[in-house]
Amino acid sequence: MKYLLVEDESGMSKFIVQGITEVGHVIDCAADGEVGLSFALSYEYDAIILDLMLPKMDGLQLLAEYRLQGGKSPVLLLTARGEVEDRVNGLDAGADDYLAKPFAFQELMARIRALQRRPPLQNGANLAIGDLEMALASHQVRRGSKLIDLSVREFSLLEMFLRHPNQVLSRTQIAQNVWNFDFYSDTNVVDVYVGYLRRKLDDGFDTSLIQTIRGIGYKLGLEE
The Cα–Cα gap between 132 and 36 comes to 37
Which residues partner with 79 through β-bridges? 100
Q: Which residue, 89 or 187, is less far from Ca ion as judged by CB? A: 89
Q: Which residue, 28 or 51, is less far from Ca ion as judged by CB? A: 51
Q: Look at phi and psi of residue 166 and say left if phi exceeds 0, alpha if psi is from -120 to 50, else beta.
A: left
Provide the CB-side half-sphere exposure for 136 (13 A, CA).
16
The CB-of-44 to Ca ion minimum distance in angstroms stands at: 25
Pairing outcome for strands 75-80 and 132-135: unpaired
Q: Look at phi and psi of residue 152 and say left if phi exceeds 0, alpha if psi is from -120 to 50, else beta.
A: alpha
The CB-of-9 to Ca ion minimum distance in angstroms stands at: 5
Q: Which residue, 13 or 156, is less far from Ca ion as judged by CB? A: 13
Q: Which residue, 77 or 174, is less far from Ca ion as judged by CB? A: 77
Q: Which residue, 53 or 152, is less far from Ca ion as judged by CB? A: 53
The CB-of-87 to Ca ion minimum distance in angstroms stands at: 16
Q: Which residue, 58 or 133, is less far from Ca ion as judged by CB? A: 58
Q: Which residue, 8 or 34, is less far from Ca ion as judged by CB? A: 8
Vertex 205: Cα angle to 126 and 168 (nearest 5): 60
CB atoms within 10 A of CB 73: 19
Give me the residues that bind Ca ion (CB under 5 A), please. Answer: 8, 51, 53
The CB-of-58 to Ca ion minimum distance in angstroms stands at: 9
Which residue has the closest beta carbon to Ca ion?
Answer: 53
The CB-of-20 to Ca ion minimum distance in angstroms stands at: 18
What one-letter code names the amino acid at 138? S
The CB-of-69 to Ca ion minimum distance in angstroms stands at: 23
| Alpha-helix runs per DSSP H in 7-104 | 10-22, 33-42, 59-68, 84-92
The CB-of-67 to Ca ion minimum distance in angstroms stands at: 20
The full length of the chain comes to: 224
Three-class DSSP category at 87:
helix
Three-class DSSP category at 46:
coil
